């Protein structure tokens, strides 16, 4: 899985006559030059099992082979840890940085605190908010064009944990001091208003209001500082039209990668740009997309379309639905229990006829105009398990391919006969993944177990495809492309786990399973429960997670975290070759049983 171990400030001082490279006392985490905002840190390492390992004079627990992963609290600033074992000594420095803004002393704004920090563009009448950090008891305001906005001190508010906090069970909000934080909002000028001699007109061009000027007054002294982002008012009559040029444009709920993903937009999708923030465009149906995945179509009018007949045809292994449109428009997908729902935006129905024969997958197709410019198609399915889908534009016709169930042959000796299964050994090449206490890398154990699993699946009759068969670099987009090209019945990504700094590496262990698209949920839960029960392994949990190898919609795709590299005791199980063979056999049996359960 993604390596959660992030960089920290680390200094090693070897005080014995033995060089560090040959020293049997080894610490593999924290790495060199690491900073963390976490309240604690764990140390992953190993030493010969004889004798004690002391950290700051206190003995620590170790596994049978001598591995360790204790956690220690951190104070703000530098933290020095001395690790000793039988005359050898390592000194490690970890620097904890504050995640609170630093309040400046005197007449100054905190560095980087003025927002908006990037250029933004909004429609007339929209709300725009400003913020700054300065000394308490100051007077703060913003001037923008002919408006002055007072920024007022803010009360305490909840600070949300990061998404990674769900992996440690510590995902509760905490109270954050807002001392020195000033905020205020205003609405941009309405059509007909004038600014700098220009009239905000529905028929006019966009108007650049420039950079907001932040003003700070303390004890009668005043400074003015420009913001880093310019603000522009868009003209509703001349909004730009963007076309998606990426194969699958990443649509999000907000203007950064911190925001959640929505249904990817097929290449060729067109939408009106109703807002801008930095390099992000807000599209007319509410999603945001990075401008680098689009191109502007000069002179285009806002894309709108009617839809009349809906076509249908069978292709090998799938049912293909064709939606003829006047222009490619944004779409979204929602999978439910025995339903598949496709929503078309900027679309109004003139539909009187749809052809759908008795289909092996679909029992009925319903549609409704849920709102002006929004048409929803609901496919009622004959079985709960869905096997993947593809969306694309063929010219201006939207093509949806719903995959059929694989042909599961009645072969007792080879129950997976004819079924294509994709295995993805995580990481590889320069991407090493997590590290065990002795430096053994996740990428290597991922590949070893994947090879063993391939042998088991081949014995069961499966056709097995691997994203890598040796230690090489394979990017995440390349892995996704292999899944989309190969169209396996299922895709399984093999990984081993680690934790963020705040995690309890010494005690956290077990099997974790990750899924994203609804069609993969059954496979994820079944495999998780099977491995936990068959092997008697601890359960770390089943997670919905937006991971690159769970996102492919072409097939049910899951990611398995088969144990923790960071847990000293579980690491011994992870690296035991006999246990790896048992694990591969259990995985093969679990996959076989799942296919039987969904026939």
* Each residue's pLDDT tens digit, 485-530: 999 999 999 999 999 998 999 999 999 999 999 999 999 999 999 9
SS (H, E, C) 132-166: EECCCCCEEEEEECCEEEEEEECCCEEECCCHHHH
The single residue listed with the structure tokens 């004079």 is: 57
The half-sphere exposure of 339 on its side-chain side, counting CA atoms within 13 A, is: 13
Six-digit token string for 534:
């068959």
Give yes or no for a contact between 507 and 42, defined as CB atoms under 8 angstroms apart: no
List, for residues 525-557, the tens digit of each pLDDT value: 999 999 999 999 999 999 999 999 999 999 999
Local structure of 519: helix, strand or coil: helix
Give the mean pLDDT of 317-336.
97
Helix 521-535 to helix 577-597 angle (10° resolution) is: 140
How many other C-beta atoms lie within 10 A of the C-beta of residue 536?
Answer: 7
Six-digit token string for 182:
């000033």
The single residue listed with the structure tokens 């007449």 is: 107
The single residue listed with the structure tokens 């005690």 is: 507
Indicate the pTM of the whole model. 0.91
Six-digit token string for 147:
């408006």
Q: Where are the alpha helices (DSSP H) in 199-319?
A: none
Q: Please tell me the distance from the alpha carbon of residue 241 to that of residue 243, in angstroms, as a whole number.
A: 7
CA-wise closest residue to 282 among 258, 256, 307? 256
List, for residues 252-310, the tens digit of each pLDDT value: 999 999 999 999 999 999 999 999 999 999 999 999 999 999 999 999 999 999 999 99
Q: Please tell me the distance from the alpha carbon of residue 207 to that of residue 248, in angstroms, as a whole number.
A: 32
Q: Please tell me the distance from the alpha carbon of residue 310 to that of residue 324, in angstroms, as a whole number.
A: 7
Mean pLDDT check: name the lowest of 308-312, 354-358, 377-381, 478-482: 354-358
List, for residues 74-93, the tens digit of each pLDDT value: 999 999 999 999 999 999 99
């Amino acid at each position: 899985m993604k390596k959660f171990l992030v960089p920290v400030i680390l200094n090693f001082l070897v005080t014995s006559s033995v060089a560090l490279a040959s020293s049997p006392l080894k610490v593999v985490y924290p790495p060199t030059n690491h900073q963390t905002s976490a309240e604690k840190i764990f140390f992953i390492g190993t030493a010969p099992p004889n004798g004690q390992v002391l950290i700051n004079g206190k003995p620590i627990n170790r596994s049978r082979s001598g591995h360790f992963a204790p956690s220690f609290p951190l104070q703000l600033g530098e933290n020095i840890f001395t690790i000793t074992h039988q005359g050898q000594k390592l000194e490690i420095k970890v620097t904890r940085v504050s995640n609170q803004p630093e309040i400046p002393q005197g007449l100054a704004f905190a560095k980087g605190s003025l927002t908006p920090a990037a250029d933004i563009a909004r429609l007339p009448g929209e709300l725009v908010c400003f913020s700054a950090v300065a000394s308490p008891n100051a007077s703060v305001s913003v001037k923008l064009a002919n408006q002055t906005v007072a920024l007022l001190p803010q009360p305490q508010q909840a600070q949300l944990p990061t998404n990674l906090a769900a992996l440690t069970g510590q995902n509760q909000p905490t109270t954050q001091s807002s001392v020195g934080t000033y905020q205020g909002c205003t609405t941009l000028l309405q059509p007909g208003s004038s600014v700098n001699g220009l009239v905000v007109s529905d028929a006019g061009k966009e108007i650049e209001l420039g950079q907001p000027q932040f003003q700070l007054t303390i004890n009668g002294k005043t400074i003015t500082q420009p913001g880093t982002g310019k603000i522009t008012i868009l003209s509703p009559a001349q909004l730009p039209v963007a076309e998606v040029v990426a194969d699958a444009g990443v649509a999000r709920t907000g203007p950064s990668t911190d925001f959640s993903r929505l249904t990817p937009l097929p290449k060729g999708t067109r939408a009106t740009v109703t807002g801008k923030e930095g390099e992000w465009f807000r599209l007319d149906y509410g999603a945001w997309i990075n401008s680098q995945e689009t191109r502007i179509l000069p002179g285009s009018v806002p894309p709108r379309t009617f839809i009349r007949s809906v076509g249908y045809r069978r292709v090998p292994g799938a049912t293909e639905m064709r939606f003829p449109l006047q222009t490619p428009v944004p779409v979204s997908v929602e999978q439910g229990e025995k339903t598949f729902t496709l929503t078309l935006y900027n679309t109004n129905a003139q539909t009187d006829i749809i052809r759908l024969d008795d289909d092996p997958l679909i029992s009925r197709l319903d549609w409704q105009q849920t709102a002006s410019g929004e048409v929803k198609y609901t496919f009622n399915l004959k079985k709960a398990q869905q096997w993947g889908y593809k969306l694309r534009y063929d010219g201006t016709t939207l093509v949806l391919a719903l995959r059929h169930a694989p042909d599961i042959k009645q072969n007792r000796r080879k129950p997976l006969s004819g079924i294509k299964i994709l295995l993805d050994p995580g990481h590889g090449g320069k991407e090493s993944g997590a590290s065990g206490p002795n430096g053994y890398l996740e990428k290597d154990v991922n590949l070893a177990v994947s090879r063993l699993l391939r042998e088991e699946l081949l014995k069961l009759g499966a056709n097995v495809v691997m994203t890598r068969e040796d230690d090489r670099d394979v990017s995440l987009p390349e892995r996704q492309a292999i899944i989309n090209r190969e169209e396996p019945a299922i895709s399984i990504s093999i990984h081993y786990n680690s934790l963020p700094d705040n995690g309890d590496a010494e005690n956290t262990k077990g099997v974790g399973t990750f899924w994203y698209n609804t069609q993969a949920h059954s496979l994820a839960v079944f495999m998780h429960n099977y491995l936990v029960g068959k092997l008697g392994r601890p359960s770390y949990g089943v997670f919905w997670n937006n991971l690159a190898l769970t996102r492919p919609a072409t097939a049910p795709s899951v990611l398995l975290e088969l144990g923790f590299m960071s847990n000293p005791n579980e690491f011994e199980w992870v690296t035991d070759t006999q246990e790896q063979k048992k694990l591969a056999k259990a995985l093969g049996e679990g996959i076989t049983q799942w296919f039987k359960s969904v026939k």
